């Protein structure tokens, strides 16, 4: 019988999990799990009374279902990316509008300044893309005047500072707790950060904040956003990576009866932001204890039952929607639907404006972003993340050329035919 990898894996699991697969059985039939041939796996199944055809059929059906789920997820992700590109174009248009409005405001202010005398406008050679230059051109157009210098400088500096602040990704966010204003937070934020904060401030009828599943590509800032949310809300921040066993979630009692706590327990009992990072890289055995904890408002830990704190906010960060491995993220598990259903989904893509601002070399970042767009347009399943921009910028700063930096980062992991497509753009 010719079977695929999924079916072979299913047969091995079925044999390993059978009560009859013990030391006596293996010695009697001269079988060793470390060097078993596929003929021996079939023989073991027959001896243990396992239905080989049923196991193979179920494995192949699961593989087909997973492929369909991944295709649907890819289509949805593509639609989200197109919408986000539209948003980026809109933000660029808004920035250009703000430049024009600042220039117009300066012109109005200059015209209303007292004690002015007409003089010939000086010739000023400036570039059109700089806001300061735009304002100077405005002065020239309305006619240079002997204007109150302090007033002019204050107007221009304020307009430039405001524009550069917005262009650099520095924003002020109004903070609220349960609907009441609590202050402001200034910094660089992902475009979806205000939505994240708002969703973390919403409460269901039972008083708890809905759990969030944030899905986005590697290096898109999911972990950073979760820690910023904890800071904004004035809550402790707890996190862990992918987990394999239940005790990593619930904690455990050692031989002396001492209970060892976990990040999940701290947030669950005392409140705070709990980030389950790389949740789609975890085993379902480790996730099963979360089901009742997330749905029922209480959880049974090794040292007793604990009620969930009203300020416990739970975020799961992942590269997928939990449907299983993809071409880019082959190590992702298919997560039990009972776990996924306890989270509200939130898509999270790259913030390319912020990437250009913080990587250290905006021109190289644009090259990385162009390659990323080409990979998406051609359907090339490869991760080209802001980390490539940051690493490449460091190489260029160290004396390498842009082409060398590209070879050392995103181009270095591509096949020849992929490189050709991406470099064509």
- The pLDDT value given to residue 344: 94
pLDDT tops 60 at residue 313: yes
Q: Is 125's pLDDT higher than 50?
A: no
pTM: 0.56
What superfamily would CATH give domain 176-347? P-loop containing nucleotide triphosphate hydrolases (3.40.50.300)
- Give 90 or 298, the one with higher predicted confidence: 298
Quote the percentage of the chain above a pLDDT of 90: 34
Averaged pLDDT for residues 169-188: 64
Look at residue 388 in the predicted model and tell me its pLDDT: 93
> Which whole number is the average pLDDT over 216-226?
90
Query: Can you give the pLDDT at residue 362?
Result: 92
Task: List the single range of 94-98, 177-181, 336-340 with lowest mean pLDDT.
Answer: 177-181
Average pLDDT over residues 177-205: 80
Q: Is 167's pLDDT higher than 50?
A: no
Q: How confident is the model at residue 383 (pLDDT cuts 50, 70, 90)?
A: confident
Rounded mean pLDDT of the chain?
79
Residue 126: the pLDDT is: 43
Average pLDDT of the segment spanning 110-130: 48
Q: Is the pLDDT of residue 122 over 60?
A: no
Please give the average per-residue pLDDT across 87-112, as a whole number.
65
pLDDT for 289 equals 83
Mean pLDDT within 34-54: 81
Q: Which of 4-8, 137-141, 246-250, 271-275 has the highest mean pLDDT?
A: 271-275
pLDDT at 214: 95
Say what the pLDDT of residue 116 is: 44
- Mean pLDDT value across residues 184-202: 86
What was the pLDDT predicted at 53?
84
* C-alpha to C-alpha distance for 260 and 241, rounded to whole angstroms: 18
Helix (H), strand (E), coil (C) string for the chain: CCCCHHHHHHHHHHHHCCCCCCHHHHHHCCCCHHHCCHHHHHHHHHHCCCCHHHHHHHHHHHHHHHHHHHHHHHHHHHHHHHHHHHHHHHHHHHHHHHHHHHHHHHHHHHHHCCCCCECCCCCCCCCCCCHHHHHHHHHHHHCCECCCHHHHHHHHHHHHHHHHHHHCCEEEEEEEECCEEEEEEEEECCCCHHHHHHHCCCCCCCCCCCCEEEECCCCCCHHHHHHHHHHHHCCCEEEECCCCCCHHHHCEECCCCCEECCHHHHHHHHCEEEEECCHHHCCHHHHCCHHHHHHHCEEEECCEEEECCCCEEEEEEECCCCECCCCCCCCCCECCHHHHCCCEEEECCCCHHHHHHHCCCHHHHHHHHHHHHHHHHHCCCCCCCHHHHHHHHHHHHCCCCHHHHHHHCCHHHCCHHHHHHHHHC
Query: Domain coordinates of the chain in residue numbers?
Result: 5-50, 93-167, 176-347, 352-424
């Amino acid at each position: 019988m010719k079977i695929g990898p999924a079916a072979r894996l299913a047969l091995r699991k079925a044999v390993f999990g059978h009560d009859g697969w013990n030391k006596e059985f293996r010695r009697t039939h001269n079988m060793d799990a470390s060097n078993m041939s596929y003929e021996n796996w079939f023989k073991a199944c027959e001896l243990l009374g396992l239905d080989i055809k049923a196991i193979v059929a179920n494995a192949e059906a699961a593989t087909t279902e997973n492929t369909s789920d991944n295709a649907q997820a890819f289509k949805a992700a593509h639609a989200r990316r197109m919408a986000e590109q539209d948003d980026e174009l809109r933000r660029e248009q808004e920035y250009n509008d703000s430049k024009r409005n600042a220039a117009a405001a300066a012109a109005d202010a200059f015209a209303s300044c007292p004690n002015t005398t007409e003089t010939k406008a000086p010739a000023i050679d400036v570039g059109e893309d700089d806001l300061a230059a735009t304002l100077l051109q405005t002065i020239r157009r309305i006619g240079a005047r002997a204007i109150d210098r302090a007033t002019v400088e204050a107007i221009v500096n304020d307009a430039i500072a405001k524009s550069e602040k917005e262009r650099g990704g520095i924003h002020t966010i109004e903070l609220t707790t349960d609907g009441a204003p609590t202050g402001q937070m200034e910094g660089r934020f992902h475009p979806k950060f205000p939505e994240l904060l708002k969703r973390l401030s919403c409460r269901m009828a039972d008083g708890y904040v809905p759990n969030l599943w944030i899905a986005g590509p590697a290096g898109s800032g999911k972990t950073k956003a979760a820690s910023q949310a904890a800071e904004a809300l004035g809550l402790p921040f707890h996190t862990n990576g992918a987990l394999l066993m239940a005790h990593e979630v619930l904690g455990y009692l050692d031989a002396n009866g001492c209970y060892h706590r976990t990040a999940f327990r701290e947030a669950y009992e005392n409140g705070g932001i709990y980030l389950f990072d790389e949740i789609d890289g975890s085993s379902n055995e480790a996730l099963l204890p979360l089901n009742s904890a997330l749905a029922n408002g209480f959880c049974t830990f090794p040292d007793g039952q604990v009620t969930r704190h009203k300020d416990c906010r739970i975020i799961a960060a992942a590269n997928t929607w939990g449907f299983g491995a993809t071409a880019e993220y082959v190590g992702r598990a298919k997560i039990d639907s009972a776990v996924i259903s306890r989270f509200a989904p939130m898509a999270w893509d790259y913030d390319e404006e912020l990437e250009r601002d913080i990587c250290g070399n905006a021109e190289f970042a644009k090259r990385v972003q162009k390659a990323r767009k080409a990979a998406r347009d051609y359907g090339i399943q490869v991760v080209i993340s802001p980390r490539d921009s940051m690493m490449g910028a460091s190489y260029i700063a160290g004396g390498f050329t842009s082409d060398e930096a590209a070879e050392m980062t995103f181009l270095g992991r591509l096949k020849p035919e992929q490189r050709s497509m991406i470099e064509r753009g």
